[in-house]
Amino acid sequence: MAVHNSFEGPRSAAARFTGLPATGERRLSGALAEVTLDGGRVVMVKRGEGDRAARAEAAGLRWLADAGTVRVPAVHGHDEQWLVTDRVATGRPGAAAAERLGRELAALHAAGAPAFGAPPPGGPEDAYIGLAPMRNVTGPDWPRWYAEHRVLPYLRRAVDAGTLRSEEAPVIERVCERLPELAGPAEPPARLHGDLWNGNVLWGADGHAWLIDPAAHGGHRETDLAMLHLFGCPHLDRILAAYHEAAPLADGWTDRIGLHQLFPLLVHAVLFGRGYAEQALAAAESATSR
């Protein structure tokens, strides 16, 4: 791992990891910048929340790339502070790109993972989903692992923060108790993007969909699809139809969408407030009403 200067900026980090002089910089946020290199190539430079964030994202991108299925930006390098990747030139969402993405996601998931909760090779056990901590601890079966290492930790955080009232917690706890019967047929661990909401799908100028900012781990393949549903995605019907044609989903999977959305909704409740807690409660009630 490279040693960095605490006063280093995005241009210097980009030059250090690519070996090319930086000729320009455009700040997109406090943590993200586009840097133009000598010759015109543009890279993305992200300032992480410590080593674990940059390491987790870099390991996730490489693990997804290793499957040879979905398109992800190439990683130029990372250290305790910076992550440098290629920039994706974006275009407009298209039906053909959506159908390709559906097939590519099916192939990505089929590439598999060593266990539920397994981090990418070289990735930390204590990782992140967006700005929120996400612990990659393995488990032998998905229902128990999902309850113990995804839903219940964030349920406790939401109650402790006062975002979700203690008397409301049993609604979600009952879902966790019934997960073995609610989860559908057992499936092997899939290789997940892990944070597959619409903002992490870039529609490339090359006519393909590209995936960024993963929270990659071994999980249930329906989780990625439920995330696409959570905030909507262009041509979602075409993505899902192509996915189902390539790798048919188990009967009743649409009834389980809310079940898989419980974790990201609770994460959002902790980060962004009561509205997401109410959505999590509604998803829990819907899951147990069947």
Looking up tokens 């946020």 gives 29
170-211 pLDDT tens trace: 999 999 999 999 999 999 999 999 999 999 999 999 999 999
54-106 pLDDT tens trace: 999 999 999 999 999 999 999 999 998 899 999 999 999 999 999 999 999 99
CATH topology of domain 10-86: Phosphorylase Kinase; domain 1 (3.30.200)
Q: Distance (Å, rounded) from C-alpha 37 to C-alpha 35?
A: 6
Q: Distance (Å, rounded) from C-alpha 32 to C-alpha 28?
A: 5
Residues of the chain with CATH 3.30.200.20: 10-86
Mean pLDDT of the chain: 94
Contact (CB, 8 A) for 258 and 283 = yes
Query: Dihedral sign, CA of 80, 58, 264, 233?
Result: positive
- Amino acid 50: pLDDT: 63
| DSSP result, 178-235 | HHHHHS-S--PPEEE-S---GGGEEEBTTSSEEE-S---EEE-HHHHHHHHHHS--TT
Q: Distance (Å, rounded) from C-alpha 70 to C-alpha 82?
A: 24
Contact (CB, 8 A) for 171 and 281 = yes
Residues labelled as active-site residues: 195
Q: Distance (Å, rounded) from C-alpha 263 to C-alpha 269?
A: 10
Share of the chain above pLDDT 70, in %: 96
Residues of the chain with CATH 3.90.1200.10: 95-288
CATH topology of domain 95-288: Aminoglycoside 3'-phosphotransferase; Chain: A, domain 2 (3.90.1200)
Helix extents (H) in the chain: 10-18, 51-66, 95-110, 142-146, 152-160, 169-182, 221-230, 236-246, 257-272, 274-288
Full-model pTM: 0.94
pLDDT for residue 7 is more than 70 = no
108-166 pLDDT tens trace: 999 999 999 999 999 999 999 988 999 999 998 999 999 999 999 999 999 999 999 99
